[in-house]
Homo-oligomer: A and B are copies of this chain.
Amino acid sequence: MTKGRLEAFSDGVIAVIITIMVLEMKVPHGVDAAALRPVIPVFLSYVLSFVFIGIYWNNHHHMFHAVHHVNGAVLWANLHLLFWLSLAPFVTGWMGENHFAAVPVAGYGSVLLGAACAYFILTRVLLRIHARDSTLAKALGRDFKGKISVLIYVAAIPLAFVQPYISCALYVIVAAIWLYPDRRFETLLMQ
């Protein structure tokens, strides 16, 4: 089974998710700059979610570049990941509209945690059908970033009830960890 259509479908779903999130930013009715003020928290959570969805697309792109073949289990593990990502517009709007209150911030973290676990499951399902010395296996390696992200989310969710901004800072740190250039796949694929 080839990976082409799985990539195309994932691209389509991620493209829709990243774009319809902007619909949560309701057009203000006022005409002065002050009318934008209630939009600011929604805008900030939109930026954060855009970066996260961008990171997932990037990682998905890189990983599947090294994938040689897929099977039915991969299709479902991939749909499972897309399911968690599809909840992003909902929690983004909820967190933004409520000015980063405790429960929505914890809910946002839970969706990020779900997506991170789904991505981890996807890597395991892919590794099961690839050889130990395959490009994919070498490129994924110990998957340090994936594991540290899960740990940070697990800490951030309860911390939201202490001080939501700590959780938000932790989400930004996870995004920064991923944005920091990760040469794993690029290095291996160029060999």
Partner-B contacts on A (CB < 8 A)? 1-2, 5-9, 11-20, 22-25, 27-33, 35-36, 47, 50, 54, 57-58, 61, 65, 71-73, 75-76, 79, 82-83, 86-87, 89-90, 93-94, 97-98, 101-104, 107, 179, 181-183, 186, 189
16 new A-B contacts, CB < 8 A, other than A9-B14, A57-B79, A58-B76, are: A5-B11, A5-B65, A8-B11, A9-B15, A9-B61, A12-B15, A16-B20, A18-B82, A19-B20, A19-B86, A20-B20, A20-B23, A30-B98, A31-B102, A32-B103, A72-B181
Q: How far is the CA of A65 from the CA of B71 in the complex (A)?
A: 13
* Given A72-B181, A93-B27, A97-B29: A19 and B22 interface contact (C-beta under 8 Å): no
- In the complex, the chain B residue whose C-beta lies closest to that of A34 is B103
Contacts of A13 in B (CB 8 A): 15, 18-19
In contact, A61 and B5 (Cβ under 8 angstroms):
yes
Chain B, residue nearest A30 (CB)? B98
Q: Which residues of B contact A27 (CB under 8 A)?
A: 24, 90, 93-94, 97
What residues of chain B lie closer than 8 Å to A6, measured between beta carbons?
Answer: 61
